[in-house]
Amino acid sequence: MAANYYDLLGVARDASDKDIRQAYRKLARQYHPDVNPGDPSAEEKFKQINEAHGVISDADKRSKYDKYGDRWMHADELEQSEARARSRGRGGFNFYTGGDFDAHRGSTFDYGSYGSGDLFDNLFTNFGSERSSYRQPAAEYPAEVTLSEAAEGATRMVNLPDGRRLEVKIPAGVDTGSRVHIPAGSGGDGDFYLAVTVMPHPRFERKGKDLYSELEVPVEDLVLGSEVTVPTLKGKLALTIPPGTQNGRRFRMAGQGLPELHKSGSMGSLYATVKALLPSNPGLEEEELYRKLKELRNN
């Protein structure tokens, strides 16, 4: 049996959205593959907490999970089966001819203007039409991708219930909550969806097609100006820091975000916010220079 999603995140079943979000972020930072290189157990744990968060952070999916547990993805089918069972439990068909009919009193059934053959032919013709118009809800399969894969696109192998294995292309620009429609058969039969979850990244925060990160810069480089290296999803780029740059200033690097889903040529930006890096253990000479600087600034 799969682990309980609430237990995986360490939250109660009645936890608020805020509690779920905080627990998820803490665990994601702890078990992220970039923080635990070469540790397959951490990678597996990271996948599990992402799967759990993807379900119970979504109100509709959480409701289905609370009701059906591990079978939540088949909630629509289960509810339809329950509805059909309830219908059968009520006796299936109800006949009315204008008079009262009570099986407990042994009353007779008045076919009215119908002949017995006409009535039942009509009933089963209609019933057959309803059966033929019913279509099984499309199946949904979870798919996790890294932020880099979301930027460039990816492929996943999906094992279908009938034993087939399909290689599915996930387009660039997907985000958590994106659904990739895959027509796996003719006439719409066998269609399914990939429900995408983008794993968090230890350095970048995503907002739509834009990325945000912090950039530590030594305080002297902020005062005097410098050229620093900025990590991006595609590599590293040089950024010129003007003299007198204030702590918290944000620099925009156009085209270094993610592509917009289904919009060719539309790229987001990377916003790097400067964070002043102060000396943690200055020597005696450095302290003396800072004292002189302080005196100069005070004067």
Domain span including residue 247: 205-277
Determine the Cα–Cα distance for residues 51 and 66; give it in Å rounded to an integer: 15
What is the pLDDT at residue 38? 85
Res. 161: pLDDT tops 90: no
Determine the Cα–Cα distance for residues 240 and 225; give it in Å rounded to an integer: 8
- Given a contact cutoff of 8 angstroms between Cβ atoms, the answer to whether 69 and 63 are in contact is no
Out of 200, 231, 248, a domain closes at: 200
- Predicted confidence (pLDDT) per residue in 173-223, tens digit: 999 989 888 875 544 456 788 889 998 898 999 999 999 999 999 999 999
- Decide if 106 is inside a domain: no
- Decide if 263 is inside a domain: yes
Place of tokens 């329950």: 82
What is the pLDDT at residue 239? 95
- Coil/strand/helix, residue 145: strand
- Decide if 85 is inside a domain: no
Nearest-10 crossing angle of helices 17-31, 40-56 = 160
Question: Averaged over 255-274, what is the pLDDT?
Answer: 91
192 shares its domain with 211: no
- Predicted confidence (pLDDT) per residue in 74-95, tens digit: 777 677 766 666 665 554 433 3
- Decide if 3 is inside a domain: no
Which tokens go with 223? 């005062």
Res. 146: pLDDT tops 80: yes
214 shares its domain with 267: yes
Contacts of 12 (CB under 8 A, 6+ apart): 6, 19
What is the pLDDT at residue 150? 92
Q: Which of 48-62, 136-150, 232-246, 261-275 has the lowest mean pLDDT?
A: 136-150
CATH number at residue 163: 2.60.260.20
195 shares its domain with 250: no
186 shares its domain with 227: no
Nearest one of 266, 147, 158, 249 to 204, comparing CA atoms = 147
Determine the Cα–Cα distance for residues 287 and 281; give it in Å rounded to an integer: 10
pLDDT band, residue 265 (cuts 50/70/90): confident
- Decide if 222 is inside a domain: yes
180 shares its domain with 157: yes
Question: Averaged over 56-81, what is the pLDDT?
Answer: 79
173 shares its domain with 159: yes
162 shares its domain with 187: yes
- Given a contact cutoff of 8 angstroms between Cβ atoms, the answer to whether 135 and 129 are in contact is no
**How many domains is the chain built from?**
2
- Decide if 98 is inside a domain: no
Helices (H), the chain: 5-9, 17-31, 40-56, 59-68, 75-89, 116-133, 147-152, 219-224, 284-298
